[in-house]
Amino acid sequence: MISRRDFLQVSMAASALYGASGFGNWARLAAQQSLTQDQLLEFETFGNISLIHITDIHAQLKPIFFREPEVNLGIGDARGQMPHVTGAAFRKAYGIEDGSPSAYALTYNDFSALAQTYGRVGGLDRVSTVINAIRADRPDALLLDGGDTWHGSYTCYQTAGQDMVNVMNALKPDAMTFHWEFTLGSERVNEIVENLPFASLGQNIFDAEWDEPAELFKPYKFFERGGAKVAVIGQAFPYMPIANPSWMFPEYSFGIRDENMQAMVDEVRDAGADVVVVLSHNGFDVDKKMAGRVQGIDVILSGHTHDALPEPVLVGKTHIIASGSNGKFVSRVDLDVRDGQLMGLKHKLIPIFSDVIAPDPVITALIDEQRAPYETALSEVIGKTDSLLYRRGNFNGTWDDLICDALLSEREADIAMSPGVRWGPSILPGQDITREDIWNVTSMTYPNAYRTEMTGEFIHVILEDVGDNLFNPDPYYQQGGDMVRVGGLGYRIDVTKPQGQRISDMTLLKTGEAIDPAKTYVVAGWASVNEGTEGPPIWDVVENHIRNQGTVTVAPNTSVEVIGA
Amino acid sequence: MELSRRETLALGLGAAVMALVPFRANAAADDTISAFTGGAEMADGGVTLTAPEIAENGNTVPIEVSAPGAVSILIVAAGNPEPGVATFNFGPLAAEQAASTRIRLAGTQDVIAVAKMADGSFAKTSATVKVTIGGCGG
């Protein structure tokens, strides 16, 4: 196991071995007073192939604020390893100065203050500028979309993903893989995929009835680039029917299927692939494990867990690239491929500072066109916040605290539960909260806010079950989300214990009494994977709550005590 | 929008209050294996079991076994009340000694495959299949 201190050396050694990477640019940028587009894009074109990776956009067409997590625990072998390093330790590992643009982009500290200085991030019109600049250097650069693209906003919901399809098509991707896309329902997904002008990949997308590869999704695609054959293999999110409602896409089955991944790598190698790239929605720790089990992958472009890393992580000879989420980053990966082999790699994680990178006017117009029919609804101010609202964190985020408050008060419940998803932009203190902002953290096709009764014992079972999806020491048993967020309930969690023993000291906050396993409690929540869940959509519940409050303030959450972190 | 306490709503996170704590291998599983092997030692290599890490649906979990040179393969779901699942027998003309089927799992547990080889020796492997409520993937 590599210790945190050794990490830097390992990265440097990998860089020396495989060619220079973005390391060093970060510290230098930080030393400068101002940031320019040229600095952000600066890259000495390398080798003969360029890959452009963007992933987990979650339908964020426009620039947003996005705070990275403070708590992102690694369990077992992942403990203290990237990407499970945050804040000051993260900056130290990569030589990033406090208060620098990189610190703002990659860590959580002083977020509200730094956001005032550096502004919003993302916006697909800015992303387009970056893609165009890379294509100016290397016209046949491959643009690869890691999925979670057609989900996560008001307009995406209203158009069933069409807004994102239209804008992404204009960016001309070469291939894509999938996760939340399937929550549009298989009929809609099939309809879109049949008409996409690029490859829809997933070696692990199977027909559920026959347990055979699904016809619509190909396992891989070959590209001829720089005199070499590049094989791009897709890996969709493995646990779609478990983490999301399987009744929405009953014809499909997924899974990690690393034995089939190995078969595909062998197949493309036999067919003459000079370099093998996996476009993955596994999540970072699953990708790390897969890289150790499947031989012959050169690069994994990793998505799902929303990690942004300024350096590749090397497992054996496989480079794993993590490119963040919500349109905040684009990774450029240049490869030197000769004689059927990867000879070198150069990488840069490009933060999309929206005030620094000029928007591509063609894409701005296209985005505006998608939003125009909904502009009045989107921009309506519902309330205001005194607190920073963010989502990321293993146990809670202020957005989810607010959503749980809304569920408790609007649905008159003892306990609230909110799913541990990792998408959703942040809102700064003093900012208005618009309807669009609320949808950015709640939009989904199964939004019903249920109200039900559960025994104390069952609530414990739920917390243990979700806890194991996050803290099982074997990444193949993790689903890549965060802990279910709770309102009205306090508990203690020992992340080092096995399932059934992690959660203790469950307390009903309104009375301070211990949760009684035999007693029944009223629980409100949303995003149930069960078909036929009833209740108003969560965005209405949250909107009512914020409207009633006028200005919201979220107190620090001290209801979860974490042990073994 | 009307939100009244009296609205009756469908159960949220899953009616299945099945025990989600891992099912332990029980004596019945050991008995089933002993009956197949006659108590003989089982080697670690030689049999491959492919099963999902997390079941998409515990009621129908696709599994595949393969043991080149085997005359029969026993499948045991160690945590099921009735652990014996199937025994596949391969005749001398079988092109390959592999089979796939779907099994029902009562909860998170180990699935065990034991192969009997042509020379009378045995090989064993197992895989943990998790059955979960699900619902919180980011």
| B21, part of any domain | no
| B78, part of any domain | yes
Residue A459 Cα, gap to closest chain B Cα (Å): 10
Confidence at residue B23, expressed as pLDDT on a 0 to 100 scale: 58
Residues A293, A418: one domain? no
Residues forming beta bridges with residue A193, ordered by sequence position? none
Tell me the CATH number at A64: 3.60.21.10
Residues A321, A416: one domain? no
The percent of residues in chain A predicted with pLDDT above 90, rounded, is 92
Q: Are strands A503-508 and A513-514 parallel, antiparallel or unpaired?
A: antiparallel
| B34, part of any domain | yes
In whole angstroms, give the CA distance from residue A155 to residue A135. 29
Which residues in chain A have Cβ-Cβ distances shorter than 8 Å to B12?
417, 450, 452, 523, 525, 528, 530, 533
Reported as a single tens digit per residue, the pLDDT across A461-515 is: 999 999 999 999 999 999 888 999 999 999 999 999 999 999 999 999 999 999 9
Which residue, among A311, A261, A325, A266, has the nearest Cα to A291 in the 3D structure?
Answer: A261
Label residue A197 exposed, middle or buried (CB < 10 Å: 0-12, 13-18, 19+). Answer: exposed
Domain that holds residue A477: 380-563
| A453, part of any domain | yes
Chain A interface mutation, best of B3, B5, B13, B56, highest count of A Cβ atoms under 10 Å: B13
Total structural domains within chain B: 1
Q: Is the pLDDT of residue A155 over 50?
A: yes
Please, are residues A57 and A164 in contact by the beta-carbon 8 Å criterion? yes
Count CB atoms within 10 A of the CB of residue B118.
Answer: 11
Q: What number of CA atoms fall less than 13 Å from residue A386's CA on the CB side?
A: 8
Tell me the CATH number at A403: 3.90.780.10
pTM of the predicted model as reported, rounded to 2 decimal places = 0.91
Residues A339, A388: one domain? no
| B17, part of any domain | no
Residue A423 Cα, gap to closest chain B Cα (Å): 7
Instruction: Give the end of a domain, one of A330, A347, A369.
Output: A369
Question: What sign does the dihedral A325-A327-A332-A337 (CA atoms) show?
Answer: positive
Which residues in chain A have Cβ-Cβ distances shorter than 8 Å to B53?
238, 255-256, 474, 476-477
In whole angstroms, give the CA distance from residue A147 to residue A319. 19
Reported as a single tens digit per residue, the pLDDT across A385-395 is: 999 999 999 99
Which residues in chain B have Cβ-Cβ distances shorter than 8 Å to A500?
21-22
Instruction: Give the end of a domain, one of A369, A393, A421.
Output: A369
Which amino acid is present at A410? E
Residues A175, A108: one domain? yes
Total structural domains within chain A: 2
**What are the mean pLDDT values of chain B's consecutive 10-residue runs (138 residues total)?**
37 38 70 94 94 93 96 95 94 92 93 96 96 69
Confidence at residue A288, expressed as pLDDT on a 0 to 100 scale: 98
CA angle A240, A166, A162 (to 5 degrees): 50
Residues forming beta bridges with residue A332, ordered by sequence position? A52, A348
In whole angstroms, give the CA distance from residue B138 to residue A304. 7
- B13 contacts A462? CB cut-off 8 A: yes
Which residues in chain B have Cβ-Cβ distances shorter than 8 Å to A244?
135, 137
Task: Flag whether residue A212 sits within 8 Å of chain B, measured between CB atoms.
Answer: no
Confidence at residue A69, expressed as pLDDT on a 0 to 100 scale: 97
In whole angstroms, give the CA distance from residue A435 to residue A533. 24
Nearest residue in chain A measured CA to CA from B19: A461
Residues A398, A545: one domain? yes
Residues A329, A478: one domain? no
Q: Are strands A175-176 and A551-552 parallel, antiparallel or unpaired?
A: unpaired
Confidence at residue A199, expressed as pLDDT on a 0 to 100 scale: 98
Domain that holds residue B104: 27-129
Residues A152, A229: one domain? yes
| A213, part of any domain | yes
Q: Is the pLDDT of residue A319 over 60?
A: yes
Residues A388, A349: one domain? no
Write the ipTM: 0.85
Residues A252, A355: one domain? yes
Instruction: Give the end of a domain, one of A341, A369, A397.
Output: A369
Sequence-distant (≥ 6) Cβ neighbours of residue A402 within 8 angstroms: A389, A542, A545, A546, A552, A554
In whole angstroms, give the CA distance from residue A495 to residue A170. 44
| A375, part of any domain | no
3-state secondary structure labels for all residues of chain B: CCCCCCCCCCCCCCCCCCCCCCCCCCHHHHHHHHHHHCCCCEECCCCEEECCCECCCCCCEEEEEECCCEEEEEEEECCCCCCEEEEEECCCCCCCCEEEEEECCCCCEEEEEEEEECCCCEEEEEEEEECCCCCCCC
Which residue is listed with tokens 């985005």? A367
